[in-house]
Chains A and B, each alone.
Chain A
Amino acid sequence: MQSGISSIILIGGLFLLSSCKKFLEETPNNALPTNKSITDAATARAAIIGAYNSVQDYYAASYPTLGTITADNVIFYGTLSQYLQLDQNAIPADNVTTVAAYQNIYKAINSANSAIAYVPEVTDPLLSAAEKNKLLGEAYFIRALGYFDLGRGWGGVQLQLQPTTNLSAARGIKRSTLQQTYDQVLNDLIKAEDLLPEDASTRNRAQKSTARALRARLHLYRKEWAEADKYASQVITNPKYALVTPFKAFFTTPFGTTESVFELTFSANDKNSFWNLWYPSSAGGQYTLKPSASFVSKINDAAIGGSRNSLIAGTGDNVYGVLYNTSATSTDPSYIIRIAELYLVRAEARAQLEDLNGALSDLNRIRNRAGVADSKAATKGDLLQAIENENSIEFAFEAHRWFDLVRTERVDDILGITNKNYWVFPLPYSDILSDPDAQQNDGY
């Protein structure tokens, strides 16, 4: 008996020692090691889908919030400090919303960088050259969009163009100027336009026209009027896109109307609850973002808002925005580029190029669609002001107003923020601490 037990211990012990190494190998069943992350057609496709998912992460709520509550059409009506800080344009470096947006944009860029680095190396008969180009083009587009959104929010940023696979990759990237950031965006858009396909119906993934549309906007931001005119025209003339009537058709189901150049689709399995920030308690929301009284009176003015008053609902003190309205299903798209914007981009470019008739014609397309009479603006100055006002109403709850005011340097006039330092958001406080190359914006 005793020797029997002893030998069991001995044998058991030896067995354990020899198989110990193997015993300690535990394989994850819901993840892949990074070096196997993009190796064939399926993983390449999944990586691009993942990159879109990361764009959703910052466009679903935080980026449109940054573009709206900071300006005059939307005010804070909630309880959480981060929104109050944005509304008051007194944004500390640890403001939750700016930090989340900034981090999520770089996550999308890292996904895009990975695809740009690894997709060309994939040799899989199931991945045709055409599809490879498409995936690559989408990656370039997503990176371009990311750096564009960083540039217009935070100024020139650190340009990370390689996927992060180890810590050393993170070191030594200084901030670029806004010019350099936009140059990078342009480079990527040129590649994207070249690589991307174009079909007659896709609006929720990047296509040639999507790259052109973003490029038109980029040129507008850079005051390169002729190019803005040119690329806006290329999109406008594409029969795939048309202004919809009534106005509210583009934000009522079914989504993905001809209005849309680029929108991010959500579904029952991939929800967007942004409506929750807009809806009042009585409708199950938080009511953190509320249309301002001045905006409500404007949009209810038939000569200004026209049918765009379908952007709001409720009465009296309880008016709320309904651009995001799928409270039952939480499937509102994120509206990134609408064809209406291209008209206004071209109008502005043409006005700057002294083509006042062309500008007026584009402006009136937008006004007439909303049932508003032609603009009476006659001079270049009046026209530019009219376009600014139109942008404000047309894109009231999308990521436009704040960025438009910054780009046209009208923040002081409209919002009374004289200190230009506060025309850009602060870099995350934590990033300043963790990255010696991240230099905080002045004034923060």
Chain B
Amino acid sequence: MYRNRHVTALPKPFLFITTFLFVTIAVYAQTTIPVKGTIRETGTQKPVAGVSVKAKTANIGTSTDENGQFSLLVPSNDILLITAIGHTAVEQPVNGQQLIDVTIATTSNALGEVVVVGYGAQSKKSLVSAVATVKADEIKNKPVASFDQQLQGRVAGVQISANTGIPGDGIFFRIRGTTSINAGNDPLYVIDGVFINNQSLQKITTQGQANNPLADINPADIESISVLKDASATAIYGARAANGVILITTKRGQYNTLPKVNANAYYGSSWAPELWDLVTGPEHATIINEAWINDGKPASTRPFRLKSEGGRGLPEEQPTYDRLHDIFRTGNLQNYDLSVSGGNDKTRYYIGGGYNKQQAILRTNDFQRASFKFNLDQQINSKVRIGSSNLLSRSYRTNARVGDGPQGGILQAALHTPTYLPKFNDDGTYAKWAGFDNLDVLIKYTDMHSTSIRYIGNMYGEADLLRNLKFRTSWSIDYNDYNEYEYWNSLTNRGSASKGLATSSISKNAIWITEQTLSYKAKPGQHSLGVLVGNSVQGAVETVTSAQGTNFPNDSYKQIASAATTTSSSSSAGNRQVSVFGRLEYNYGGKYFAEFNVRGDASSKFGTNKQWGYFPSVGLAWLASEESFIRDVNAISTLKLRANIGITGNQNGIGNFASRNLWNGGANYLDNPGTVPQQLGNTGLSWETTRQTNLGIDLGLLKDHISIEFNLYKKYTSDLLLSLPLPVTTGFSSISSNAGEISNKGFELGISTTNISNRQFTWTTSFNIAHNINKIEKLDIPVDASYSAERMIQGYSMHSFYVYNQLYVDPQTGDAVYEDYVKDGKITADDRQIAGNAQPKYFGGLNNNLRYKGFDFSVFFNFQFGNKIFNNNRFFHESGGTRDDRRAINKNQLNRWQKPGDITEVPRITTLGTNYTLSPVSRFIEDGSFIRLSTLTLGYTLPKKLTTKIHTNSIRIYASGANWWLWKKYQGPDPEINVTSDPNVQGYDLGTPPQPRTIQFGINISL
């Protein structure tokens, strides 16, 4: 071990900026030698990544890779200056040595970390806001298509729920609760400064679900993700920030680093851990006969009687067909990533390529992505820098109609076709039942696919105009070409009547943005000041061209060119926005912090009477642990108090022309063009306004072996964008208006601990939990969600279920007794009432990482409690004979009332009365709480001696599993489901494939 000389650490932000900017001075012509080494943490001996290693005199430097290693050409008599945020700086003389390993001690303050924030980076110490940072490395083991889903359970206050088990499908993502009914609840996503589109461009329906455009981005190219949660952090994004902002930083090279190659590969399988329980054929027949008798019809004509008597055969003669196991399969997962990064004194680069392929457990659904990433930074001279970030990817999906709706519905055909009905007719042709397609036909012939070509690119230039005054200009585009095709052949329901049906749809979406900023930093004495001003101009255009063809020669001809009848359409619309923004940061002595942000946004979407909106925020923080009276308390290593308030907006859901009185075309008759009144305008239409306050505390105990972050927040959203129902007599169904108010309040708690830390063994734990109370404060007219079991009503939460309340099943008669809520002696639509909601009361995650010598082990749980699910599968599956041979029946139906005295919640079987015809009823609302073993990973890093022999830097092999254990109360296979991508519907299950259980084996090699 070398003796280290400790020096006083420079102020962290200053250090960061210096290493970032001034690493460019030429190498002295002197005896230079190559020096290699590893930087480890004192005590734990964990390699430290991102440590700046600089030759003091020669003024050249590099930083360590993820294995803590560096290599550098330096004068043999120079001194290495080793600095890392959160660690004490070290000066290490070279003395002609070529291998220099150094250990560095952590400083007591864990707030040293640098956090990416809007239009900049701040040290965690100076934050006045609630920002969570996730390193992409920590979440990469979850084998899903997109990084947003990988965040599930990782960030306190961020609720993420997969809608389906199909890779690449949209997910439910909420930061601190639901603030909006119609303007969208997704956060703003910004990748390397580019505002990207996260709204699906999909036009060919897969029946409710939608693809996730974020799956175009390869998670392996991501360095870190910042989640901006409160107003102080997000106000600089103004009218789009009310749902929080996700900032994604992609990987870049490092200056003065030899080319570094990283290769990662995994291969694995996925399957469904549990499916639905349906009755057998004989059981189905028994139920239907029972309904017949209970309806008072003569037993002699019951449906399931001897075939010779004209019946469908006796119940016990009925066969049972298991379609569910036909449609679910063991899927195959594979992923390969290769990257090269490095740099010299003036240039740094990162080149990455990736390929990912995932088969869904539900047949005919595949996801593939090939991606390419190129980041480059170039110093033109000591004052001017330019650079570029580029991401090009191609996502190819084969789809199916997974969701609601019988036609072509692949899961519905499997799940809802009665089990006793055969797959083939007596003549050998495919049998179709109950409006569903034949499942074998769908499995063989479903032909729906889409290709997304995505380019996300940015160019920037930076110039130091004066000392501490920096100008930056940035030009970006997010371009997405989404090309979909479907062909329904003549054996499918969609294609049989029209002799084949094909649809092609091509959507092109371009968002361009240019931003200019000026930033200034100064540190006179104990004062520290930062100023940022900027403007941004952006536009978005989406064009859609679609064509449909029917009547094909035969099923070998699938392109519309061969269709006898064709129709086509095109459309195009866009919007523009102009913004100005600014930030003022101030701190005194590194103890007292203040920050002020403001943004002004004007958009072509807003009504002419309300075109500009302003969004300010102010935040304060006190780093109490810097005060001497707390510094003396040994147990407390960090204590920081934060408070902020601000206003942000949300404009997502406003249509491009929603504020205007318009007539639309396309209302044709007799093949003549027709026009109809389309919408009533509203010249005052504007963004939704969210006022948010946040109180936070950061606490580090026992030298930060325990660190705690706690936030209390309150969000109040007004001017809610609503489609207010209009009197029908107007001829319009609704008008876009700003009415309504919603509040969210809650807390977030994150605890991370270092339980054991020594050279051999480390064990760290992190836990987070959040609680959110959502309430619709003002809504003059209740709004039904698109699935009407959910209704939004003033005084209740969003995603509340609105149903007839089934009180009990009368033990004497077997009839369901419903609550006469309005007490008028009859059961009418007025008797529906709120019965629970789909939002969890508590949710979060628990992660444990263990490392013993070369082994690493991590186990991650995520959980949610208190949410309800409307199990609409049961509505169809437990329909008491009303659907006879048109729907499958589930096992729970067998628990029906049969004789006086039976106590059950499943009413007497009959097609008459309200036992099975009222909908929706509370009987199908179930508890959706769950704890899931999200991922489990065991890895082994080969000993250095071995890897050096084969000329590699490091090799790690691992096995990882997802979803290996699930605790739930829900009757369906998986409580994490949703029938639709419609954000206003949550927790509504209707034929949704469950989350797969997966296992994968992988290897990471670094050269």
- Residues in chain A within 8 A of chain B (CB atoms): 1-2, 5-6, 9, 12-13, 16, 20, 23-26, 28-35, 37, 43, 45-54, 56, 77-79, 81, 84-85, 88, 90, 92-94, 102-103, 106-107, 109-111, 113-114, 158, 160, 163-167, 169-170, 173, 204-205, 264-265, 267-270, 275-276, 279, 281-288, 327-330, 427-431, 433-435, 437-438, 444
**Given A52-B669, A84-B882, CB of A286 within 8 Å of CB of B406:** yes
CA distance A109 to B729 in the complex (A): 9
Q: Does B641 contact A (CB under 8 A)?
A: no
Closest Cβ–Cβ distance, residue A150 to chain B (whole Å): 10
Q: Does B565 contact A (CB under 8 A)?
A: yes
Closest to A108 in B: B731
Find chain A residues with CB under 8 A from B494 CB: 284
Judge whether A110 and B727 touch: CB under 8 Å: no
CA distance A13 to B579 in the complex (A): 12
**Given A12-B516, A32-B662, A33-B662, CB of A106 within 8 Å of CB of B668:** no
Judge whether A20 and B668 touch: CB under 8 Å: no
Judge whether B578 and A16 touch: CB under 8 Å: yes
Closest Cβ–Cβ distance, residue B917 to chain A (whole Å): 6
Give 17 new A-B contacts, CB below 8 A, not counting A34-B662, A53-B674.
A28-B657, A33-B662, A46-B673, A50-B667, A50-B674, A52-B674, A79-B434, A79-B886, A111-B731, A165-B661, A166-B680, A167-B735, A170-B727, A282-B432, A283-B496, A286-B435, A329-B550
Judge whether B677 and A111 touch: CB under 8 Å: yes
Name A107's contact: one of B436, B671, B676, B886 (CB within 8 Å).
B676
Q: Does B672 contact A (CB under 8 A)?
A: yes
Q: Does B602 contact A (CB under 8 A)?
A: yes
User: Which B875-904 residues have a C-beta within 8 angstroms of A?
Assistant: 876, 882-883, 886-887
**Given A102-B728, A430-B784, CB of A2 within 8 Å of CB of B466:** yes
Find chain A residues with CB under 8 A from B667 CB: 49-50, 53-54
Closest Cβ–Cβ distance, residue B397 to chain A (whole Å): 26
Subset of 16 A-B contacts with CB under 8 Å: A9-B471, A28-B660, A30-B665, A50-B669, A50-B676, A51-B674, A54-B676, A103-B733, A106-B730, A109-B731, A158-B729, A166-B680, A265-B670, A282-B431, A284-B494, A285-B435
Judge whether A92 and B663 touch: CB under 8 Å: no
Closest to A175 in B: B729
Judge whether A269 and B733 touch: CB under 8 Å: no
Contact bitstring B462-478, A, C-beta under 8 A = 1, else 0 = 01011000010000000
**Given A26-B604, A164-B731, A167-B735, CB of A33 within 8 Å of CB of B497:** no
Closest to A29 in B: B572
**Given A33-B660, A110-B732, A434-B725, CB of A92 within 8 Å of CB of B829:** yes
Judge whether B602 and A77 touch: CB under 8 Å: no
Closest Cβ–Cβ distance, residue B783 to chain A (whole Å): 9
Q: Does B574 contact A (CB under 8 A)?
A: yes
User: Which B382-403 residues have a C-beta within 8 angstroms of A?
Assistant: 383-384
User: Which B481-501 residues have a C-beta within 8 angstroms of A?
Assistant: 493-494, 496-499
Closest to A435 in B: B727
Name B728's contact: one of A2, A204, A265, A435 (CB within 8 Å).
A435
Closest to B826 in A: A443
Q: Does B664 contact A (CB under 8 A)?
A: yes
CA distance A31 to B660 in the complex (A): 10
CA distance A156 to B135 in the complex (A): 66
Q: Does B678 contact A (CB under 8 A)?
A: yes
Judge whether B829 and A281 touch: CB under 8 Å: no
Judge whether B726 and A53 touch: CB under 8 Å: no
User: Which B415-471 residues have a C-beta within 8 angstroms of A?
Assistant: 431-436, 463, 465-466, 471
Judge whether A437 and B497 touch: CB under 8 Å: no
Q: Does B971 contact A (CB under 8 A)?
A: no
Closest to A56 in B: B669
Find chain A residues with CB under 8 A from B657 CB: 26, 28, 31
Judge whether A163 and B728 touch: CB under 8 Å: no
Name A49's contact: one of B493, B572, B672 (CB within 8 Å).
B672
Judge whether A444 and B828 touch: CB under 8 Å: yes
Judge whether A26 and B575 touch: CB under 8 Å: yes
Judge whether B677 and A269 touch: CB under 8 Å: no
Closest to A157 in B: B729
Judge whether B465 and A20 touch: CB under 8 Å: no
Residue among A13, A330, A429, A434 with max Cβ neighbours from chain B (10 Å) = A434
CA distance A102 to B572 in the complex (A): 32
CA distance A106 to B732 in the complex (A): 8
Closest Cβ–Cβ distance, residue A375 to chain B (whole Å): 33
Judge whether A30 and B671 touch: CB under 8 Å: no
Name A78's contact: one of B663, B726, B886 (CB within 8 Å).
B886
**Given A49-B674, A79-B406, A433-B725, CB of A30 within 8 Å of CB of B432:** no
Name A284's contact: one of B497, B680, B886 (CB within 8 Å).
B497
CA distance A90 to B551 in the complex (A): 41
Please count how many residues in chain B sit with their CB below 8 Å of the partner chain's CB atoms: 86
Residue among A46, A77, A114, A327 with max Cβ neighbours from chain B (10 Å) = A46
Contact bitstring B716-743, A, C-beta under 8 A = 1, else 0 = 0000000011111111110100000000
Q: Does B773 contact A (CB under 8 A)?
A: no
Contact bitstring B592-605, A, C-beta under 8 A = 1, else 0 = 00000000001110
Judge whether B675 and A170 touch: CB under 8 Å: no
Judge whether A24 and B497 touch: CB under 8 Å: no
Judge whether B727 and A20 touch: CB under 8 Å: no
CA distance A381 to B724 in the complex (A): 52
Q: Does B8 contact A (CB under 8 A)?
A: no
**Given A84-B882, A435-B729, CB of A46 within 8 Å of CB of B674:** yes
Q: Does B537 contact A (CB under 8 A)?
A: yes
Name A81's contact: one of B577, B663, B733, B919 (CB within 8 Å).
B919
CA distance A279 to B466 in the complex (A): 78
Find chain B residues with CB under 8 A from A114 CB: 677
**Given A45-B672, A90-B917, A170-B730, CB of A5 within 8 Å of CB of B471:** yes
Judge whether B604 and A25 touch: CB under 8 Å: yes
Find chain B residues with CB under 8 A from A111 CB: 676-677, 731
Closest to A265 in B: B670
Judge whether B724 and A434 touch: CB under 8 Å: yes
Find chain A residues with CB under 8 A from B565 CB: 268, 329
Find chain A residues with CB under 8 A from B876 CB: 79
CA distance A435 to B724 in the complex (A): 11
Closest Cβ–Cβ distance, residue A417 to chain B (whole Å): 15
Closest to B491 in A: A284
Closest Cβ–Cβ distance, residue A284 to chain B (whole Å): 4
Q: Does B567 contact A (CB under 8 A)?
A: yes
CA distance A165 to B666 in the complex (A): 20
**Given A49-B673, A78-B886, A166-B680, CB of A28 within 8 Å of CB of B602:** no
Q: Does B573 contact A (CB under 8 A)?
A: yes
Minimum-distance CB pairs A-B, first 8: A110-B731, A49-B674, A435-B727, A327-B497, A50-B674, A34-B661, A434-B725, A50-B676
Name B432's contact: one of A56, A106, A281, A329 (CB within 8 Å).
A281
Judge whether B919 and A53 touch: CB under 8 Å: no
CA distance A269 to B668 in the complex (A): 9
Closest to A436 in B: B727
Closest to B611 in A: A24
Name B496's contact: one of A16, A267, A284 (CB within 8 Å).
A284
Find chain B residues with CB under 8 A from A45 CB: 672
Find chain B residues with CB under 8 A from A169 CB: 730
Judge whether A164 and B732 touch: CB under 8 Å: yes
User: Which B315-342 residues have a C-beta within 8 angstroms of A?
Assistant: none
**Given A37-B675, A81-B917, CB of A6 within 8 Å of CB of B680:** no
Find chain A residues with CB under 8 A from B471 CB: 5, 9
Closest Cβ–Cβ distance, residue B535 to chain A (whole Å): 7
Judge whether B730 and A160 touch: CB under 8 Å: yes
Find chain B residues with CB under 8 A from A103 CB: 728, 733
Find chain A residues with CB under 8 A from B535 CB: 13, 16
Judge whether A24 and B665 touch: CB under 8 Å: no
**Given A5-B471, A20-B602, A287-B435, CB of A31 within 8 Å of CB of B668:** no
Q: Does B835 contact A (CB under 8 A)?
A: no
Q: Does B521 contact A (CB under 8 A)?
A: no
